[in-house]
Amino acid sequence: MTISMSIDSDTLNDMALAAVDPVMAELDHLRRQTERLGLINKLHLRLAAVLDLAGMIEAYSVWLMPHVEHELIGYSNTIRSKKHLFCSGHGPLRRNLIAFAEQLMDDKDLDAAVSEDGHYAHKWLMETVDDGG
């Protein structure tokens, strides 16, 4: 007794595509992960080249520019009375942006704001064990 089966070519193609889809999805995931890790590696390389906080903020800002459009990045530590700002603007625009950023940094209750000339700012609070007293 012999059993013969015939499968048309469309069914074979559908089966092959069904087997390939998870592999393609995994490859896409690995490609995106590799791109993210490459970006993080480039940031680490930039940060490793500088020794002071102001230089690190500038290096971070330069690295971030192709990914998030921005004109100013700042850091403020009220306990140590330290403030570092890096602004890519020049002239009156720079002065206005720095004044706006300092106002946002000084206001404890304000997390985000929009300046009179339409610039948007957001403040993130980052605490360490040392900040707890």
Q: Do 103 and 121 reside in the same domain of the chain?
A: yes
The reply to whether 70 and 21 lie within a common domain is no
| Structural domain span for residue 99 | 52-132
Compute the C-alpha angle 40/121/83, nearest 5°: 75
pLDDT of residue 133: 45
The pLDDT score that the predictor gives to residue 81 is 81
- How distant, in Å, are the alpha carbons of 6, 115 from that of 3? 10, 79
Total domains, the chain = 2
SS3 87: strand
Q: Which two tokens stand for residue 129?
A: 């064990």
Look at residues 41, 39, 75, 37 and name the one whose alpha carbon lies nearest to residue 56.
Answer: 75
Same structural domain, 69 and 120: yes
Whether the predicted pLDDT of 87 surpasses 80:
yes
If asked whether residues 69 and 28 sit together in one domain, one would say no
Asked whether the predicted pLDDT for residue 110 surpasses 80, the reply is no
Higher pLDDT, 9 or 118: 118
The pLDDT mean for the chain works out to 81
Q: 116 or 48, which is more confident?
A: 48
In a domain, residue 26? The reply is yes
Pick 50 or 12 by higher pLDDT.
Answer: 50
pTM, to two decimals: 0.61
- The dihedral built from the CA positions of residue 23, 27, 29 and 33, taken in this order, carries a sign that is positive
Task: Return all residues near 58 (Cβ < 8 A) that are at least 6 apart.
Answer: 50, 86
63 lies in the same domain as 126:
yes
What pLDDT is recorded for position 106? 82
Domain match, 75 and 125 both: yes
Say how many C-beta atoms besides its own lie within 10 A of residue 85's C-beta.
19
Contact present, 69 and 61 (Cβ < 8 Å): no
**Does residue 82 lie in a domain region?**
yes
Q: Does residue 3 belong to any structural domain of this protein? A: no
